[in-house]
């Protein structure tokens, strides 16, 4: 009797594979499959022509794309490899293997439909009770563009580079041919410089229209230089999310080329969240970047309860270690008092170019005040009070209550954890695509993937009870 079974790596193997039986019942790929089966893909179908060879089914391609972004696979070549060897991909594709070019073309084709698909997935989250409308937290994150910082230039550097390339070409043409400097060697160098000049010429009109202080990246000219938390300056895009507090479902997104979050970004995100979910959020929280006087006035007419700290909230000193305006307060009579408790004298009012009135106040007895070194370097401390300061003060009072502190403390955990998931768990620290439209498409795919992950984790059983709506 043989001691071992026969072992032969050269022997052919024939095996029947049924994709639907490859995975366990609760595998995340099956959740993606069920979600996509519920989506209305009519708009995506209309992108295809009836002429030519039949295309891969958009439903299958969408399942592969969504699953890939959910698991952190953003490379089309990586998706292609997985379609050949991995059971979860074979299940989703039905053992079809579109190559990386086909996957990339589909991603471009699907870009026009992504917004509606994102909304439909959010509505599924609402339907299976993953959204409760109690808290809506808003924040932005900066992701490096698919471009090198060294390719960034301004008018002055661009002009210097063009001149350097032209001088290099002229020098090569004037240099005599010899044994050390052959004609073939010169032609190769000329070809390199000529290609560089052609690239520079393509940006000439854009450079001419720029201001002297503007910067442009020659690899991705829509990406702007932005400061990141680690102190680096990189060509990047700013992606903003509105996240529901129950399970962290992202209900609205937008992409901007502005380096900082601004007040005018806030309400469009809130309105988009309400439109995508069909519901009314009770409380909205955002950081100081989204707070300005215009928004503080406008939110008075809104149904939601807002929690927006201003940039000076909880600040005690300025960068040069002097008291901020936060330390100046009004007494019961409405007079402004300095940190030393002395009444300040009114110096009248000025009106800025934008029509805003500023009341000026000057300190009394500053020369003998023991707090002067921490208050002003001048003879007397002066402050300007915006006429709209009442709205800021009202918001500060709301934030300083026990209830306000409790509510606002939830913001960070709700909205910043998806950023950590993007950058740490799935490794999305730099874009794979170029241009603001493609960057927005990539971010929406990331957020669709994160929402699908939440469905797989928290709503799989509820989803299984719902029958597909579309075919």
Looking at the domain assignment, is residue 2 inside a domain?
no
User: Does a structural domain hold residue 219?
Assistant: no
Residue-level pLDDT at 209: 76
Query: How many angstroms separate the CA atoms of 422 and 103, rounded?
Result: 22
Shared domain check, 197 and 140: no
Looking at the fold, whether 304 and 402 belong to one and the same domain comes out as yes
* Same-domain pairing of 339 and 405: no
Distance of CA 198 to the CA centre of its chain: 33
**108, 93, 97: which is closest to 36 by C-alpha?**
93
Residue 13 belongs to a domain: no
Question: Is residue 449 assigned to a domain?
Answer: no
* Last-in-domain residue among 168, 190, 214: 214
- Residues 210, 175 share a domain: yes
Instruction: Note whether 341 and 280 are same-domain residues.
Output: no
Is residue 453 assigned to a domain?
no
Q: What is the pLDDT of residue 468?
A: 59
Neighbours of 365 (CB within 10 A): 12
pLDDT band with cut points at 50, 70 and 90 for residue 318: low
Q: Give dist(CA 454, CA 268) in Å, integer.
A: 24
Q: Residues in the chain, how many? A: 471
Q: What is the per-residue pLDDT across 92-134, written as a single tens digit (0 to 9) for each?
A: 999 999 999 999 999 999 999 999 999 999 999 999 999 999 9
Mean predicted lDDT score pLDDT of the chain:
89
Out of 166, 183, 214, a domain closes at 214
What is the full DSSP assignment across 156-221?
HHHHHHHHHHHHHHHHHHHSPP-SSS-HHHHHHHHHHHHHHHHHHHHTHHHHHHS-TT--EESS-T
46 and 194 inside one domain:
no
Query: 28 in a domain, yes or no?
Result: yes
Whether residue 419 sits in one domain with residue 283: yes
Summarised one tens digit per residue, pLDDT across range 140-198 is 999 999 998 888 888 888 888 888 888 888 888 888 888 777 888 888 888 888 888 88
DSSP element (H, E) containing 306: strand 305-307
| 293 and 408 both lie in a single domain | yes
- Got the DSSP string for 382-432? EEEEETTHHHHHHHHHHHHSHHHHHHHTHHIIIIIHHHHIIIIIS---B-S
295 and 435 belong to one structural domain: yes
Containing H/E element for 241? strand 233-244
Q: How many domains does the chain have?
A: 4
Q: Would residue 375 count as lying in a domain? A: yes
Amino acid 471: pLDDT = 46
Long-range contacts of 297-302 (CB under 8 A, 24+ apart): 297/388, 297/391, 298/267, 299/267, 300/391, 302/267, 302/270
- On whether the pTM is more than 0.75, the answer is yes
* Count of C-beta atoms within a 10 Å radius of residue 24: 7
Number of alpha carbons in the 13 Å side-chain half-sphere of residue 273: 31
CA distance 50 to 15: 36
Please indicate whether residue 369 or residue 326 has the higher confidence score (pLDDT).
369
Domain residue limits at 342: 325-387
Whether residue 275 sits in one domain with residue 361: no
In a domain, residue 448? The reply is no
- Across the range 373-381, mean pLDDT stands at 89
**Residues in contact with 364: Cβ distance below 8 Å, sequence separation at least 6, in sequence order:** 342, 343, 344, 345, 380
Same domain, 206 and 231: no
pLDDT in tens, 221-255: 889 989 998 888 899 999 999 999 999 999 999 99
What mean pLDDT comes out for the span 452-468? 82
296 and 418 both lie in a single domain: yes
């Amino acid at each position: 009797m043989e001691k071992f079974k026969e072992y032969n790596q050269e022997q052919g193997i024939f095996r029947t594979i049924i994709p639907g039986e490859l995975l366990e019942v609760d595998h995340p790929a099956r959740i993606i499959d069920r979600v996509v089966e519920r989506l209305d893909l009519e708009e995506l179908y209309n992108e295809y022509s009836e002429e030519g060879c039949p295309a891969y089914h958009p439903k299958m391609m969408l399942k592969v794309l969504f699953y890939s972004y959910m698991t952190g696979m953003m490379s089309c070549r990586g998706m292609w490899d997985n379609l050949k060897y991995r059971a979860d991909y074979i299940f989703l594709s039905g053992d079809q293997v579109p190559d990386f070019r086909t996957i990339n073309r589909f991603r471009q084709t699907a870009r026009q439909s992504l917004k509606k698909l994102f909304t439909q997935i959010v509505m599924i989250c609402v339907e299976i009770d993953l959204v409760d409308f109690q808290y809506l937290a808003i924040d932005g994150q900066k992701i490096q563009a698919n471009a090198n910082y060294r390719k960034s230039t301004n008018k002055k550097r661009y002009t210097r580079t063009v001149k350097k390339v032209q001088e290099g070409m002229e020098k090569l043409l004037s240099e005599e041919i010899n044994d050390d400097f052959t004609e073939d060697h010169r032609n190769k160098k000329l070809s390199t410089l000529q290609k560089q000049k052609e690239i520079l010429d393509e940006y000439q009109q854009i450079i001419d229209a720029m201001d002297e202080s503007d910067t442009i990246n020659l690899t991705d000219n829509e990406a702007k230089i932005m400061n990141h938390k680690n102190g680096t300056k990189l060509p990047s895009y700013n992606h903003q999310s509105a996240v529901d507090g129950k399970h962290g479902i992202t209900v609205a997104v937008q992409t901007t080329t502005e380096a900082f979050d601004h007040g005018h970004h806030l309400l469009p995100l809130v309105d988009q969240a309400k439109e995508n979910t069909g519901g009314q959020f009770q409380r909205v929280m955002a950081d100081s970047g989204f707070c300005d006087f215009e928004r503080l006035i406008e939110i008075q007419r809104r149904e939601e309860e807002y929690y927006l700290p201003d940039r000076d909230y909880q600040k005690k000193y300025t960068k040069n270690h002097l008291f901020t305006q936060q330390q100046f307060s009004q007494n019961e009579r409405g007079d402004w008092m300095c940190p030393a408790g002395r009444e300040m004298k009114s110096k009248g009012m000025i009106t800025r170019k934008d029509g805003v009135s500023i009341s000026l106040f000057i300190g009394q007895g500053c020369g003998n005040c023991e707090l002067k070194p921490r208050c002003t370097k001048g003879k007397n401390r002066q402050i300007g009070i915006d006429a709209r300061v009442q709205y800021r003060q009202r918001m500060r009072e709301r934030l300083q209550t026990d209830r306000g502190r409790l509510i606002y403390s939830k913001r960070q955990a709700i909205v910043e954890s998806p950023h950590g998931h993007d950058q740490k768990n799935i490794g999305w620290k730099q874009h794979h695509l170029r241009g603001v439209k493609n960057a927005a498409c990539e971010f929406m795919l990331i957020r669709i993937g994160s929402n699908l992950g939440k469905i797989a984790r928290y709503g799989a059983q509820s989803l299984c009870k719902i029958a597909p709506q579309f075919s």
